[in-house]
């Protein structure tokens, strides 16, 4: 980060590279702050939802397998769904730095601005 800060000082103020580097440095500082301040959290809703899906569809696949007959054909669908629930368990209960509501709102605003700029560019190209 120190090298990036030194490099920013040497670049001209109106340089697009300088702005990009400033954004990158800001991102690095936020990530470092989140990691050091214990900003890592668990997404309990996703974890418990994944647990419920895994248990319900796991039981359903075992029940269908025990029914015998043509029910065996239906076993892969709930079995695969139960495995997908395991992804929710591991992702939800894992501690990681997740974006805050403010960061989500800023990202959404930036995406809307990018789309508006793209529409304006297309309109200008048609004329």
* pLDDT tens, position by position, 33-69: 766 666 677 889 999 999 999 999 999 999 999 988 8
Name the more confident of 122 and 56.
56
Q: Which residues contact 39 (CB under 8 A, 6 or more apart)?
A: 33, 97
Q: Which residues contact 50 (CB under 8 A, 6 or more apart)?
A: 85, 86, 87, 88, 89, 90, 91, 92
For the chain, how long is the longest CA-to-CA vector? Answer: 75
The structural domains of the chain, with segments of one domain joined by +, span 1-38
Residue 36 in tokens: 């050091």
| pLDDT for the residue numbered 31 | 76
């Amino acid at each position: 980060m120190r090298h990036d800060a030194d490099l920013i000082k040497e670049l001209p103020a109106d340089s697009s590279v300088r702005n990009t580097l400033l954004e990158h440095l800001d991102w690095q500082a936020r990530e470092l702050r989140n990691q050091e301040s214990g900003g890592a959290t668990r997404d309990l809703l996703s974890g418990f939802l994944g647990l419920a899906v895994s248990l319900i569809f796991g039981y359903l696949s075992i029940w269908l397998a025990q029914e015998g007959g043509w029910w065996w054909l239906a076993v892969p669908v709930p079995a695969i769904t139960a495995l997908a629930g395991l992804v929710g368990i591991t992702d939800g209960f894992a501690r990681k730095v997740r974006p805050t509501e403010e960061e989500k709102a800023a990202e959404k605003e930036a995406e809307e601005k990018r789309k508006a700029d793209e529409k304006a560019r297309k309109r200008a190209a048609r004329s």
